């Protein structure tokens, strides 16, 4: 999948959307989401992968995105730009759950699910301290 194809996929425009559809900036219905993340410095064990799959199977609106790191990114000094998580991270995991206006009464259930997912993955991500993408840092 190309980068622009991934943008279409995550845009919620529906099947058959094309790049020019991204120009339509009209919001068709209210959309909510909750996200958390982990930076992974060591490969996740098979037990960790099974844990994630089991949790994902319980919530069809939940999903993860895994962004790879390393390679040429490791050639950029931590002092060069304000993004210290490149060096030593294999990838980041974004934990997400989404819902629409019609399900607003279930929002606490969705947030609870993602908190439980994040807590279950604590031993598989970074630690001492646990690192997270700055836009996903939260207390709830």
| Structural domains of the chain ordered from first start | 29-136 (3.40.462.20)
At residue 111, does pLDDT exceed 90? yes
Mean pLDDT score, 27-50: 86
pTM (predicted TM-score)? 0.76
The pLDDT, as a whole number, for residue 112 is 95
The SS3 call for residue 59 is coil
At residue 120, does pLDDT exceed 80? yes
Give me the catalytic one of 87, 91, 133, 136.
136
To which residue do tokens 């206006």 refer?
Answer: 101
> pLDDT > 90: what percent of the chain?
36
115 Cβ contact partners less than 8 Å away, ≥ 6 residues apart? 36, 140
Quote the CA–CA distance of 89 and 41 in Å, as a whole number.
Answer: 4
At residue 57, does pLDDT exceed 90? yes
Residue 136 a catalytic site member: yes
> pLDDT > 70: what percent of the chain?
92
64 Cβ contact partners less than 8 Å away, ≥ 6 residues apart? 52, 56, 93, 94, 95, 96
134 HSE (CA, 13 A, CB side): 4
At residue 118, does pLDDT exceed 80? yes
| pLDDT tens, residue by residue, 8-38 | 887 777 778 888 888 876 766 677 889 999 8
**Cα→Cα distances 40→23, 24, 101, Å:** 35, 36, 33
What angle, 0 to 180 degrees and rounded to 10, lies between the N-to-C axes of helices 46-58 and 107-120? 170
Greater confidence (81 vs 90) lies with 90
The pLDDT, as a whole number, for residue 21 is 86
* Strands lying side by side in the sheet with 91-100: 31-40, 91-100, 62-68
At residue 41, does pLDDT exceed 80? yes
Greater confidence (72 vs 40) lies with 40
**Cα→Cα distances 36→22, 72, 110, Å:** 26, 26, 12
At residue 62, does pLDDT exceed 90? yes
């Amino acid at each position: 999948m190309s980068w622009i194809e991934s943008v279409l996929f995550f845009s919620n425009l529906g099947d058959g959307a094309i790049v020019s559809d991204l120009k339509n900036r009209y919001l068709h219905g209210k959309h909510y989401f909750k996200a958390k993340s982990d930076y992974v410095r060591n490969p996740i064990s098979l037990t960790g992968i099974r844990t994630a799959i089991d949790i994902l199977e319980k919530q069809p609106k939940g999903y993860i995105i895994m962004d790879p790191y390393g390679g040429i990114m490791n050639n950029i000094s931590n002092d060069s730009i304000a993004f210290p998580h490149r060096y030593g991270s294999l990838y980041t995991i974004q934990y997400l759950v989404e819902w629409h206006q019609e399900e607003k009464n279930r929002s606490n259930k969705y947030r609870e699910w993602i908190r439980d997912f994040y807590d279950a993955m604590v031993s598989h991500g970074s630690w001492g301290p646990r690192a997270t993408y700055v836009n996903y840092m939260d207390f709830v």
